A = this chain, B = another copy of it.
């Protein structure tokens, strides 16, 4: 069994985990309660209204709407958030191939108030997948892993630029190398769980505790159904979730 407690978090951190019942996506609101600067990670288009209300109730200024990667299962709320909250800029990794106001890469920081997230490139589910890591007291305390690592699972590797070997190395090099008690918040969960830790996944992840060759075999043998939202979500997410409707022809 594992025996880890959560590390102390920054005293000025406001943190809210939010969920989309349709695509099983977690959205995260983080803010510096002193300066009121906020960011949203992986917002969902249909839930922008909920998220804007929460931001307003707390008197926050949304600086960035950040994606962990170009999603295939829901349309990002970043474009709509920019319309509703003009302070907001969209952020995604340059290697995602998607449009955004700010492109980030390995080693960059996203600052909001006196808090920040460091970018770790964790490709394998897609080429542009990143993990956002918050530090406190000189050490990592929380990581937002996107679809690279899920609770007792991981993102699929059979579409977009999916590659199981790359994913395995990303998880080992950038996530399992964090301190054991680092809290891990994924982009999805399908079992009703909300959070895990490095120690837990290193010990109990049914796929990633296997040697790399077995992991690759597992991932190649999943035979998952074609993702039902991908044909709608991918084109929209490549342009920040803002899809221009084709203009009706004059007849």
Contact = CB atoms under 8 A, between A and B. Distances in A.
A87 B200 CA distance: 24
How many copies are assembled? 2
A31 to B, nearest CB: 10
Contacts of A204: 57
Interface string A41-83: 0000001001000101111100000000000000000000000
Contacts of A2: 57-59
A16 B194 contact: yes
Contacts of A19: 19, 192-194
B33 A5 contact: yes
Interface residues of A, number: 33
Contacts of A238: none
A218 interface: no
Interface in A184-211: 191-195, 200, 203-204
A18 B73 CA distance: 22
Given A1-B60, A3-B33, A21-B192, 19 more contacts: A1-B56, A1-B59, A2-B57, A3-B58, A3-B59, A5-B14, A5-B33, A16-B193, A16-B195, A18-B192, A18-B193, A19-B19, A19-B194, A20-B192, A21-B21, A50-B191, A50-B192, A57-B204, A194-B194
Q: What 9 A-B pairs are tightest by C-beta distance, nearest first?
A: A1-B59, A19-B192, A17-B194, A5-B33, A18-B192, A57-B204, A1-B58, A20-B192, A50-B191
